[in-house]
Amino acid sequence: MITDIFIKTCNHDVPYHKYCIQSIDKFCTGFRDTVVLNDEHPRGYLWQQVCKMHADLKTDAEFILITDSDTLFNQPVTPESFMRDGKPIWLHTPWTAEMLAHPGTPTWKRVMTEFFGIEPPAEFMRRQPFMFPSHVLATLRSFCVQKHGVSLEEYIMSQKAFSEWNVLGSHCWLHHRDLFHWVDTSVDELPPLRVRQFWSLDNIEKNMDEINRILT
């Protein structure tokens, strides 16, 4: 099972990125390679999502684990750490009134509804990192062309908001459900949290004590 780690980084991620790589070197074994893509684009927030949804074009690995530069692994992991019964784990949470009252959540629900033409059953963007069979990205891009008549890149870049993990998770739920081990966070036991996710817009100095504890 060949698995690569993929990171889309950019200039404002630089303070955290080197520590992310150090955490991979310290804690991650069994992965073939770490693929880092660093480029800029006038619409960076949307563009970084485009890059992630084309990660399979940067690696021929059977599985891809995508993480962010501001996320550090904090315990030993292998590809199997993110799988159960040979299938990647994907967390999802069915909608509740409390969730939908949270700022931003209705936007992600609308993004999925407009993309697929049906109301999604759950929120699929629950936890970093995300692991999946690489070929599901190609089927997502094909779906976009068939449904909307434009490439996925064109679709994403034409939007005011997009949510790559909600869209990919919903796509896998609808079209590749048997390839994943699904965890319903409202009822199922959660797998161990194996990373510490920071926020790259934060001043890194206030987090350096914690980062040093993770890496030493």
pLDDT band at 213 (very low <50, low <70, confident <90, very high): very high
pTM, entire model? 0.94
Q: Which pLDDT belongs to residue 42?
A: 59
Classified as helix, coil or strand, 175 is helix
Q: What is the pLDDT of residues 72-111, one digit of tens each?
A: 999 999 999 999 999 999 999 999 999 899 888 899 999 9
- Kindly report the backbone phi and psi dihedral angles of residue 110, in degrees, each rounded to the nearest multiple of 5, phi listed first: -65, -40
User: Considering only CA atoms, which of 127, 131, 141, 6 is closest in space to residue 63?
Assistant: 131
Percent with pLDDT over 70 in the chain: 99
Closest Cα to residue 191, out of 42, 71, 84? Answer: 84
- Check residue 120 and give its pLDDT: 94
Nearest-angstrom CA–CA distance, 127 and 107: 18
Tokens found for residue 202? 């934060």
Q: Among 54, 55, 63, 69, which residue's Cα sits nearest to residue 11?
A: 69
Structure tokens at 40: 């800029």
Q: pLDDT digits over 102-140, tens only? A: 888 899 999 999 999 999 999 999 999 999 999 999 999
Structural domains of the chain sorted by starting position, each given as residue range(s) with its CATH number in brackets: 3-215 (3.90.550.10)
Q: How far is Cα 113 from Cα 120, in angstroms, rounded to an integer? A: 6
The alpha helices in the chain, defined as continuous H runs, are: 14-27, 44-52, 97-100, 105-116, 135-148, 152-157, 164-175, 208-215
